[in-house]
Amino acid sequence: MIFKEIRPSLKLQAYIKCFYLYESHSDLNYDDIVFPSGTMEIIFNLGEGNWKTGKGNVFHTTPAIELWGQITKPMNIKSSGKNTMLGIRFYPHSAAYFFNENVSEFNNEVIDAADLLGTSLRSLQARLLETKDLTSRISLVEAYFLNRLILSEKKHAKIKFIGEIVNSLQNNFESENIHSISVRNNISARYLNILFSQYTGLPPKLFHKINRFQYSLNLVNNNTQKLTSIAYDSGYFDQSHFIKEFKMFTGTTPTSFSLQASPINQILTNI
């Protein structure tokens, strides 16, 4: 397995958190689970294999260009064949720059991004398949998204505003809240909640829970602290509160997760 993370160019660093390349060299099938991350992604499938995502007991093959909406609960996936995936991971608010839709419509869905962005994205996919050099592939993707930014200029100010709130809530949710932010900006808390959900896909409280969970997940993966210490460092009331919320987002307890975490999940929690 190969995994590489690539930092975007300066012009896109405010809009794209990272690009990444994932390659599997085995034809073996395997099952895994994807957890809520607080972000959205577009993934170009450039290999011979395929992925399936599960809803209940039914699995659906993902499209060639996957758009991952905000995931709010564990999602089962299956991999088969040799896969090559070029991913674009956005910041919590920044996928909204590139879509006309309210991004909350995509929650817990993996859909065909080309159905939303049109034939230009399918053309990009075709060019990526013809291009084998990673640097050249990244250049093609960056040119595409820089052009999409121009098309969304009218809503940049609102999305940037929500991005500033995202950063504020990520850094200090306990002392910063939607009410205080709405008062400071002279808008209603209800309207601010609507904007936050529209441009991140998540209500502020759920965003905070996922952000806190992700922080705790990294600590669990590092395996250097006791659960009680992780709970308090992550902002939970106590260990019981931590375990309950961790299980809600992963389907398992922190102890069980640390014993059976898959290599790809250990990688993705550190992006």
User: What secondary structure, in 3-state letters, does the chain show?
Assistant: CEEEEECCCHHHCCCEEEEEEEECCCCCCEEEEECCCCCCEEEEECCCCEEEEEECCEEEECCCEEEECCCCCCEEEEEECCCEEEEEEECCCHHHHHCCCCHHHHCCCEEEHHHHHCHHHHHHHHHHHHCCCHHHHHHHHHHHHHHHHHHCHHHHHHHHHHHHHHHHHHHCCCCCCHHHHHHHCCCCHHHHHHHHHHHHCCCHHHHHHHHHHHHHHHHHHHCCCCHHHHHHHCCCCCHHHHHHHHHHHHCCCHHHHHHHCCHHHHHHCCC
Give pLDDT tens digits for 23-58: 987 777 888 899 999 999 999 999 998 899 998 889
Confidence of residue 76 (pLDDT cuts 50, 70, 90): very high
Give the per-residue pLDDT at 173.
58
**Spans of all domains in the chain:** 2-152
From the number of C-beta atoms within 10 Å of its C-beta (0-12, 13-18, 19+), residue 172 rates as exposed
- pLDDT at position 29: 83
The per-residue pLDDT for 157 is 94
Q: Return the CATH architecture of domain 2-152.
A: Sandwich (2.60)
**pLDDT, tens only, 151-207:** 889 999 999 999 999 988 887 756 567 788 888 888 898 999 999 999 999 999 899
Average pLDDT over residues 74-98: 95
> Backbone phi, then psi, for 159, in 5-degree steps?
-70, -40
d(CA 32, CA 14): 31
